[in-house]
Amino acid sequence: MIRPATPNDKEALMAIAEAIGLFTPQELKELGTMLAEYFDGNLGSEHFWITYDDGKLEGVAYYAPEPYANGTWNLYFIAVHPNSQGEGIGTKLLRYVEQTLTVRGERLLLAETSGLPNFESTRAFYRKRGYDEEARIREFYRAGDDKIIFRKALAALKQ
């Protein structure tokens, strides 16, 4: 059910991003550009887009290493279509990423999100899955919109 994303998935992945209603048109455009660069092979071999596909694409995650850091990775994007939220798909995608990185011997997984009220369910998602709020950069994205960084040590998962 969890598999690498393919170029044929782009439209469905963008539909998920749009359906969750958390991104501006400009942010969606940038996401589309990132997907195109990934499928064109321009992001490098250490960037991974994965999907949750149960006959139809229901979830997506994108993760890649933090440049200039040893064993630190970023979860840049994780989303589940609103019609499938609450079914554990986001957790399955997140655990897949964590386990994949742990097996590779990686140390940390970071996830950033917005501090706006409509992102509270996203922040709760990370907290519930053992992530700690590591940093908050006030008004990072725009006035009144903080950047919140969550952190999880992957070595703890080996036990």
Residue 159 above 50 pLDDT? no
| CB atoms inside a 10 Å sphere around CB 137 | 12
Give residue 105's pLDDT: 94
Flag the least confident range among 35-44, 56-65, 129-138, 145-154: 35-44
Distance, CA of 116 to CA of 142 (rounded, Å): 11
What average pLDDT score do residues 102-129 get?
96
Q: What are the distances in angstroms from CA 6 to CA 21, 41, 68, 116?
A: 23, 12, 28, 32
In the chain the first and final C-alpha atoms are separated, in Å, by 26
Give residue 158's pLDDT: 52
pLDDT classification of 110: cutoffs 50, 70, 90: very high
Q: Model confidence over 3-27: pLDDT tens digits?
A: 999 999 999 999 999 999 988 899 9
pLDDT classification of 156: cutoffs 50, 70, 90: low
DSSP string, 6-58: -GGGHHHHHHHHHHTT-S-HHHHHHHHHHHHHHHTT-S-TT-EEEEEESSSEE
Q: Model confidence over 38-50: pLDDT tens digits?
A: 999 988 889 999 9
Domains observed in the chain:
2-158 (3.40.630.30)
Q: Model confidence over 139-148: pLDDT tens digits?
A: 999 999 999 9
What average pLDDT score do residues 57-79 get?
95
